[in-house]
Amino acid sequence: MMRHLHDHASLDVLLEVTVLLADDMEGDLARRGLTRARTAVVWLVALHGPMTQRALADLLRVSPRNVTGLVDALVATGFVRRDPHPTDRRATLVVLPEHGTEVADALQRDRAQLAEQLFGELGEREVAELHRSLAHVRDVLRRLVAEP
Amino acid sequence: MMRHLHDHASLDVLLEVTVLLADDMEGDLARRGLTRARTAVVWLVALHGPMTQRALADLLRVSPRNVTGLVDALVATGFVRRDPHPTDRRATLVVLPEHGTEVADALQRDRAQLAEQLFGELGEREVAELHRSLAHVRDVLRRLVAEP
DNA sequence: TATTGTTATACTCTATAACTATA
DNA sequence: TATAGTTATAGAGTATAACAATA
């Protein structure tokens, strides 16, 4: 019974963390002229290299139509470029021009800085514990989301 | 140096947890005919009792216009009701009819079940540690978001 | 036939600005 | 004069369905 009170409080804190984390990152992105959804596109292309919109739709678990809109906006603002696919004339490759690469690097630096701010004051053992518990929570959630 | 790798990995896991958590809860809400934003309204009215839309806008940190839309949708689907304010004829009170109260109770049960699923397998000490570390992360984020 | 990306349409959440009715 | 809530308008993210070009 004491246990349940504990669980509720932890879930409340976790939910608050998710909201605050989104707010904080959203602010950083807005300063760079990006939104959350568009950043995900830039991030994936930076990680995997040039990709078709179809591949992006699959990775983002979003409709192809949605990717069209996101890429349109990113092309208009110079974050990505559309290149013809070398062998499949139906497809287009989304690639990062110089500007996009710089932004992806900056995003990575932002992330490193955020990690330092969040975990910097915790001891090595505490970070390890937190990591382990969060990984457990993540695995449970993966199962829950996969089998609804 | 080893430290930084650790921090990055923990942040990655935390970010994945936020996404999975949102997905899982969104699914539960959709099954009840609610969206995330509308649920926040139901939740606040259930917690605090009948409130003006202005009060909801302040608590949600959202524009009054936005609240109009959310309440419109909730009224149309029977989750909330608009009552005249007893003393201020400009204002309306958002109240929960029976259906809304039942839904709020169900949401609370959902939440308890989720907490049990997420933390049930962890030991008492682990939950306490996780709670402490998450509370620290939350406090850091509160400062970051408050002073951007 | 199947796949890639698009146009067409619609819904949700969000914002600002102008306005009405009241305080 | 200030406040509560609305209409008007706009933009971002999301979806499905129909369609063109290509595989």
pLDDT, tens digit (0-9, with 9 covering 90-100), for B97-122: 999 999 999 999 999 999 999 999 89
Question: Is pLDDT of B148 > 90?
Answer: no
Q: Of all helices (H) and strands (E), which one includes residue B105? A: helix B98-119
**Which is nearest to B37 in space by CA: B57, B51, B17, B16?**
B57
Place of tokens 């208009």: A76
Does residue B2 surpass a pLDDT of 80?
Answer: no
Smallest CA-to-CA distance from A15 within B14, B126, B140, B129 is with: B14
Q: How far apart are CA B29 and CA B103, in angstroms?
A: 10
Tens digit of each residue's pLDDT (9 = 90 or more) over B81-94: 999 999 999 999 99
**Interface contact flag, B133 A122, Cβ < 8 Å:** yes
To the nearest whole percent, how much of chain B has pLDDT over 70? 95
pLDDT of residue A14: 96
pLDDT digits (tens, 9 = 90+) for B119-135: 998 989 999 999 999 99
Q: Which residues touch strand D (CB under 7 A)?
A: A 35-38, 60-63, 65-66, 69-70, 73, 87-90; B 52-55, 57, 64-65, 67-68, 71, 82, 85, 88, 90-92
CA of B45 to C1' of C22 (A): 24
Cα A45 to Cα A133: distance, rounded to the nearest angstrom: 30
Q: Give strand letter and number of the nucleotide nearest B89 (CA to C1').
A: C22
**Phi, then psi, of A33 in degrees rounded to 5:** 80, 20
Tell me if A141 and B27 make a contact (CB, 8 A cut-off): no
pLDDT band at B3 (very low <50, low <70, confident <90, very high): low
Residues 6+ apart with CB under 8 A from A66: A57, A60
Closest amino acid to nucleotide C12 (CA–C1'): B35
Question: Cα separation of A63 and A66, whole Å?
Answer: 5
- The answer to whether some atom of strand C lies closer than 7 Å to the beta carbon of A85 is yes
**A142: which residues sit within 8 A by CB, 6+ positions away?**
B20
Give yes or no for a contact between B68 and B132, defined as CB atoms under 8 angstroms apart.
no
pLDDT band at B6 (very low <50, low <70, confident <90, very high): low
Which of A113, A126, A140, A143 is best to mutate for the B interface (most B CBs within 10 A)?
A: A140
Q: Note the pLDDT of residue B1.
A: 46
Distance (Å, whole) CA B19 – CA B14: 9
**H or E element in which residue A143 lies:** helix A124-146
d(C-alpha B19, C-alpha B21), whole Å: 5
Do B50 and B94 form a contact (C-beta atoms < 8 A)?
Answer: yes
Q: Does at least one atom of strand C sit less than 7 Å from the CB of A92?
A: yes
Q: What are the per-10-residue average pLDDT scores of chain A (148 residues)?
A: 66 95 93 96 97 98 98 97 98 97 95 94 91 96 87
The answer to whether the beta carbons of residues B137 and B143 sit under 8 Å apart is: no
Mean pLDDT, chain B, integer: 93
